[in-house]
Amino acid sequence: PGKAEARHRADYAAFAFGVAERAARALGLTPPADGDLLPPRERALAGLLQQVDAARLADQPDTARALLDSLDAEQRALPEVRLRRAAADFQSGRLDAAQPEFEALLASASVKEDPLLHARVLAGLGNLFLRRDDYPRVERLAEQSIALLGALAPSVELGNAYVGRAIARSAQFRFDQAVADFAQGRVVFESVGDRFGIARVDANLGILEARRERYAEALPLLDDVAGRLASFHDLSSELFVRVTASYAHLALLDPAAALAGEPRLRELVAREPNPQYARYATIARVDALDANGRLAEANELLQGVLKESAAANDDALLGSARIVAARMALAAGDAAAAARLAGAALAKTWEAETPRERAGAWLIQLRAQIAQRSPEAPASLAAMTAWAAQENGPITRLMADLASAEQAAAAGDSARAGPAFESALALAEAARVPEDLLEVCSVYAAWLIRSGDLARAGAVAARVASWAPRSYEAALLQARLYRALEQPAAARNAIAQARRLAGERVLPPMLDDEATVKR
């Protein structure tokens, strides 16, 4: 538990500023306007603005600002120029500089008289509030654009407005409405021949499927669209698509596939101008490396994210990073550090992508307290249970049941532990997320083995046996089971699998000693 997740807040496929239209023109994908009809000064300005758009698409907002700064005062006062300046500030993460400019533009009479420009400003402000997690406001701004443009000919701006509303609705877990809006946006982009806009819709659809935990359905979309976004040089959107794909592979218990995408993520992080985006993708790199046993590299990267997030007062990513650090500390046997880090994450109010992340923090904290025989464990469980009841979602119920089972098992209360484990298992099987199923089966089967119920332990472990060739934790579970069943050949095979997948991880002593599995 506790893996950071792809965030809508990070504005993974920006719909603002008419980027799609101008990026397509900058890349030669649509014919340029007839500049020969413009006076020389206006023609020069149009050419410079195309350079600005190309720089922004290439994730070079500083270059875009430098180009805009080269204009004279009269040109810098033009709405199209001011909009691009605000867009560049937004792209760099300078939200406090961008917001007043967007709001001033909205109040401008010249903007109100131009529906397309008005819609681009609304979208720019929408992206800003998306970053600030104000999803109802994002939805309202997008609806204003749709109302402005709905009676006009199809346009990139109208497509962007549908995408913006879809993202806001997805963030509020209104997935069916979001899918309908994405479909509307895609129709608009197709009607105006905007291949870049179509790619961004497909990116968002893939991310939405992942947010719905339909990982197998999401991956083909994500893999296809990542290459298309790269061809458009939309590196920030590509970054978020690849982060989502990495977590989808981990959820499907395919850490090697997640690791295969890590080098490209590293390249994208190095080129990402927004420090928050870079930190966010770095956490995904940490999770992929950790899942493959590359612990030293993962820890070094994670320490950097913790330090940078704290310095930037980025509570959301600091919370995510602390949860990952707590999970790694617990796996390394440092229960005290795990409890401290998870507790620090839970003590802060921060916006998580879904309740899954916070539920993971609660479970890690409880496990660390149980490992330390802390008297605080029952109170932590009570707090987690109350929180889960308030959230009342499948993943919160699953994690709360699993936590209740583990606490009861630690207290020797088999009468409570067994039913709680069974409830968690039923929820995991209903959700059909392999990562969750392994989480439950590993702990439940281990308890059954300790309790001497090897028949039931075998049935539970069998549910995740097919992932043992590619999942270290699944291989360990099979090794524990076969050792308990006194099947040395099968145990040795499972241990060999675990050792092959371990990387820098150290096998539990009971399993690492091959003498313990010989007849």
Q: Quick: pLDDT tens for 281-321.
A: 999 999 999 999 999 999 999 999 999 999 999 998 999 99
- Cα pseudo-dihedral 191, 197, 203, 204, rounded to 10: -80
The angle formed by the CA atoms of residues 276, 366 and 393, to the nearest 5 degrees, is: 65
Question: In 332-376, which ranges are continuous DSSP H helix?
Answer: 335-347, 355-371
Residue 305 lies in a domain: no
* DSSP string across 246-290: HHHHHHTT-HHHHHHTHHHHHHHHHH---HHHHHHHHHHHHHHHH
- Our count of domains for the chain comes to 2
393: in domain? no
Within a domain: 26: yes
**Mean pLDDT of the region 72-76:** 92
Task: Tell me which of 189, 204, 233 is where a domain ends.
Answer: 233
Percentage of the chain modeled with pLDDT above 70: 90
Domain membership flag for residue 81: yes
What mean pLDDT, rounded, does the chain reach? 90
Judge contact between 420 and 427, C-beta under 8 A: no
- Whether 363 maps to a domain, the answer reads no
Average pLDDT over residues 44-65: 88
Nearest to 424 by CA among 449, 441, 445, 446: 441
The verdict on residue 148 lying in a domain is yes
Last residue within a domain, chosen from 233, 261, 283: 233
362 inside domain: no
Inside any domain, residue 40? yes
**Which structural domain range is residue 152 located in?**
19-233
Cα 49 from Cα 57, distance rounded (Å): 12
CATH number at residue 141: 1.25.40.10
143-173, pLDDT tens digit by residue? 999 999 989 999 999 999 999 999 999 989 8
**pLDDT tens column, 357-398:** 999 999 999 999 999 999 999 999 999 999 999 998 899 999
Distance separating alpha carbons of residues 59 and 74, to the nearest angstrom: 27
Helix (H, G, I), strand (E, B) or coil at 191: helix
Q: Which of the listed residues 204, 233, 262 is the one where a domain comes to its end?
A: 233
Residues in the chain: 519
* Position 353 confidence tier, pLDDT thresholds 50, 70, 90: low
